[in-house]
Amino acid sequence: MVLSYTRNKHISTIDCEDDTILSRCTVEDTFFAATVEIVVKLPDMEITSLKGTVDRAFGEECHKAVPLLQKVKGLRIGPGIIKAIEESVGGSEGCPRMADLLWECCNGIILRFTADSIAETLSKEAGEQIEGHKELVRKNPRLIGSCAAFAEGSPLIEGL
Amino acid sequence: MTALTFSRSKLVGIEYLAPDTFLAHGVLNDYMYGLELDFEVKLPSFEIVKIEGEWKRYTTPECPKAIPTLQRAVGWRIFEEGFRRKVNRIIWREGCEHFANLLLECCDAIKWTAFYGEWEEFKEKQSAPNKKEYLRKKLEDIPSLQGSCLLCASKITGE
């Protein structure tokens, strides 16, 4: 069958020289195309700048959501950021699609750091990897119970 | 040259398996994880009737345990109140964050297919109503979208 709808979304991060990370999310789907780009300052992960474009949308109203991105400037990526994004950029006075792209940019930065830890663990010999995962949990106790891999009874949290 | 330090791609395709059934196929691929989802949604209730997931790459020997959790989504209706919370509480917390992420991405894609799909059909047949009328009708069909964004809110208030 021919597809009725396609969506292609890409999230990427680049480490910049001034202790900042640039995170960009682009979506191209059958009815909508847009990009959001944020710069985050390390080490406190403060959002220092934002840019966005709506390149294709069903209605003119959709373009009005772009300036709303500036409302999260100065916030830090951490607890409460999802709610802040939903309230500032999403909702009936905003655009849930743009809020979603902004959230993806923030999540991309978190995953960028997770990828470093995971790569370090997976570079160990097979027998040492379990200990590597445990070390990751020791550094991030909130991982316990966060998914099937770190659920009660998992060897990855045994003895912690 | 500046190299990427992280990259994630998500690809979603929606097709009509039958006039009353959407089939969603989703792929997520990033530096750490590779996974795929296929599921069917029955209309007009938008109920998930079948779902399958597959890992391509994962990071711990425990990750495959997330696959059976996907079956919990059978019977859920994607427009029901609290659907996102339920996905996060069960598919993520008892399964895997990345399968939950991809499931929500695919469900969002189904939502917009249902919302805008007929517009393209109308245009092809050169029988399109005006956009305002079209949106008003669609918001009646999918009440959970009423007032959900600038566009949908404006059509309800008639602005």
CB atoms within 10 A of CB A89: 29
Please write the tens of the pLDDT for every residue from B42-76: 999 999 999 999 999 999 999 999 999 999 999 99
Mean pLDDT score across all residues of chain B: 91
By CA distance, what is A2's nearest residue in B?
B15
Q: How far apart are CA B107 and CA B109, in angstroms?
A: 5
A114 interfacial to chain B (CB closer than 8 Å): yes
Q: Which pLDDT score is estimated for B133?
A: 86
By CA distance, what is A148's nearest residue in B?
B95
Q: Answer with the residue of higher pLDDT: A62 or B40.
A: B40
The residue among B92, B151, B155, B157 with the most chain A CBs within 10 A of its CB, best to mutate, is B151
Q: Which pLDDT score is estimated for B156?
A: 46
Residue B158 pLDDT greater than 50, yes or no: no
The residue-averaged pLDDT of B23-45 equals 97
In angstroms, what separates the C-alpha of B107 from chain A's closest C-alpha?
12
In angstroms, what separates the C-alpha of B47 from chain A's closest C-alpha?
19
By CA distance, what is B115's nearest residue in A?
A31
By CA distance, what is A65's nearest residue in B?
B150
Q: Which pLDDT score is estimated for B159?
A: 40
- HSE at residue B68, side-chain half, CA atoms within 13 A, is 3
A42 interfacial to chain B (CB closer than 8 Å): no
A138 interfacial to chain B (CB closer than 8 Å): no
**Residue count (chain B):** 159
The residue-averaged pLDDT of B83-104 equals 97
Q: Please, which residues 58-97 of chain A have a Cβ atom closer than 8 Å to chain B?
A: 58-59, 61-62, 64-65, 90-97
List CB contacts (< 8 A) between A111 and chain B: 6, 8, 30-32
**Type of residue numbered B158:** G
Q: Do A3 and B8 touch (CB under 8 A)?
A: no
Strands A33-41 and B21-30: unpaired
- Is ipTM > 0.90 here? yes
By CA distance, what is A60's nearest residue in B?
B151
pTM, two decimals, is 0.94
The residue-averaged pLDDT of B9-22 equals 96
Given a contact cutoff of 8 angstroms between Cβ atoms, the answer to whether A98 and B151 are in contact is no
Q: How far apart are CA A9 and CA B41, in angstroms?
A: 22
CB atoms within 10 A of CB B117: 19
The residue-averaged pLDDT of B71-99 equals 97
Q: Which pLDDT score is estimated for B134?
A: 87
A153 interfacial to chain B (CB closer than 8 Å): no
Sequential pLDDT tens for chain A (160 residues): 789 999 999 999 999 999 999 999 999 999 999 999 999 999 999 999 999 999 999 888 889 999 999 999 999 999 999 999 999 999 888 999 999 999 999 999 999 999 999 999 999 987 899 999 999 999 999 999 999 999 999 999 998 8
List CB contacts (< 8 A) between A57 and chain B: 151
The residue among A5, A140, A146 with the most chain B CBs within 10 A of its CB, best to mutate, is A5
Q: Which pLDDT score is estimated for A6?
A: 97
Q: Please, which residues 43-62 of chain A have a Cβ atom closer than 8 Å to chain B?
A: 57-59, 61-62
The residue among A1, A2, A7, A28 with the most chain B CBs within 10 A of its CB, best to mutate, is A7
Q: Which pLDDT score is estimated for B125?
A: 76
Residue B157 pLDDT greater than 50, yes or no: no
B81-113 core/surface letters (b: 16 or more CB in 10 A; e: else)? eebeeebeebbbbbbbbbbbbbbbbbbbbbbbb
Q: How far apart are CA B7 and CA B29, in angstroms?
A: 8
At residue B155 the predicted structure's pLDDT band, cuts being 50, 70 and 90, is: low
List CB contacts (< 8 A) between A133 and chain B: 60
